[in-house]
Amino acid sequence: MSDGGPKAVRAGTHRTVTPEETLRRLAPHLARIGITRIADITGLDHIGIPVWQACRPMSRTLSVSQGKGLTDALAKVSAVMESIELWHAEIAEPRVRRDTAAGLGPQLRYDPRRLPLAYGSLLTARTRLDWAPAKPVLPDPRDDDRPRWVPYEAVRLDGTVRDRWTVPLFRPSTNGLAGGNTLDEALLHGLLEVAERDVLASDGERVPILPGSVGGYPGELVKRFHDAGVSLRIEDLGNPYDLPCFKVLILSHDFPVVFRGSGCHVDGDVALSRALTEAAQSRLTAIAGARDDLPASLYTSERISHAGIEARARSWAAAAKTPYRRRDHSGASIRDDIAVVASRLRTRTRAEPLYVDHTRPDVGIPVVHVVVPGTTRREH
């Protein structure tokens, strides 16, 4: 792992360097990665929460990536880094090993059927697969340094059409795919995303939060929604990881569709701000209309009537009775936070959190794909 130095940014996110410095480091690589345009789309809506997008026309997955944040710099970094992460996953070509789960023996250490499987998957312990080498997020000095293994299909992202027929066994996704200024930053981002999506896929308790009780920088985001006439529902998502995790729903007459955002972090203010900014980003993504995976129903069948909006707004206001109280489990360094999140994932799933390192030496931007068997095996 990289050196666990102190955090330079703790508002809206926890990072080892400022977003302006991150942008300076990323800028020389954008042309090679294929990012042709970075656009500020905040002004397409009247809420005022910064949202940017990065365009990569030759992508094998999504050609438009979105980013959000408390400031323009944070939103711009978010958009660019998402596009960079996808590029790394699309072109990843690790030295795979062709074998069965049974053939890997003790090097596997988990049942691959605990990974997200394709519908009707025919995976068995005797199915021959390509396996990508992986590493433990929390290495044990008493353990050997032999590689762990993750099915290559589970971490490779490629939406291009090929002239061959294969039976899908796994359900690959961007869950756990993350980049950062350092390896530690990338790992923490990936771990938190895995935990967040696992919580969203569960049926845990959802406690409504009074928007007016939110202070600090998340409170400033809440005020922007209020001033824009947007109804807001905040839910504190109870979860077995005991991590601050929130879901946000927004709705207004000018775009009568419910948009959602979620966030999970060791710092409750960061988790809530991520959920709030993601809700604004989801709405702006629909307004901009440029993202590849937007469903037509977003502009037709998902629209809510005037009476329906009023009824839902009253329901949200009546249910919100619990004041927001910040929980903060964060440490002085990113590595401290990794230890908290990874150990809780391991305790809950009884599986070793792993990561496939997509970092390219010729580019030098740390990108990983975190995999935790036993999490997010169904869609949320």
The pLDDT tens digits for 91-144 are 988 889 999 999 998 889 899 999 999 999 999 999 999 999 999 999 887 776
Residue 19 has which token pair?
């977003």
pTM here is: 0.94
Q: Which residue has the tokens 């003790």?
A: 106
Q: Looking at the predicted structure, is the pLDDT value of residue 1 above 80?
A: no
User: Strands 206-209 and 177-179, how do they pair?
Assistant: unpaired
Contacts of 142 (CB under 8 A, 6+ apart): none
Quote the percentage of the chain above a pLDDT of 90: 84
Domains of the chain: 97-178+333-371 (no CATH), 202-292+316-323 (3.30.160.660)
Q: How far is CA 260 from the centre of its chain?
A: 14
Helix ranges restricted to H, the chain: 19-26, 30-33, 72-91, 101-104, 152-155, 183-200, 216-227, 268-288, 306-319, 334-349
Report CA-CA distances (Å) from 277 to 211, 219, 222, 280, 302: 14, 12, 10, 5, 21
Per-residue model confidence (pLDDT) at position 377: 58
Q: Is the pLDDT of residue 29 over 70?
A: yes
| Residue-wise pLDDT tens digits, 260-300 | 999 999 999 999 999 999 999 999 999 999 998 999 999 98
Q: Are 83 and 91 in contact (CB under 8 A)?
A: no
DSSP SS3 for 42: helix
Share the mean pLDDT of the chain.
93
- pLDDT for 49-79, tens place per residue? 999 999 999 999 999 999 999 999 999 999 9
Check pLDDT > 60 for residue 346. yes
User: What is the pLDDT at residue 319?
Assistant: 86
Cα separation, 334 vs 178, in Å, equals 14
Mean pLDDT along residues 289-315: 92
Q: What is the pLDDT of residue 141?
A: 77
Nearest Cα neighbor of 75 from 107, 42, 111 is 42
**Residue length, the chain?**
380
Element (H, E) at 328: none
With bands split at pLDDT 50, 70 and 90, how would you rate the model's confidence at 232?
Answer: very high
Amino acid present at 303: R
Alpha-carbon distance of 303 to 353, in angstroms, equals 40
Going by pLDDT thresholds of 50, 70 and 90, the confidence category of residue 147 is confident
pLDDT, mean of residues 349-368: 96
Quote the CA–CA distance of 247 and 338 in Å, as a whole number.
Answer: 22
Tell whether the model's pLDDT for residue 358 goes beyond 70.
yes
Sequence-distant (6+) residues with CB within 8 A of 114 are: 349, 351, 373, 374, 377
Report the 10 Å Cβ neighbour count for 122.
10
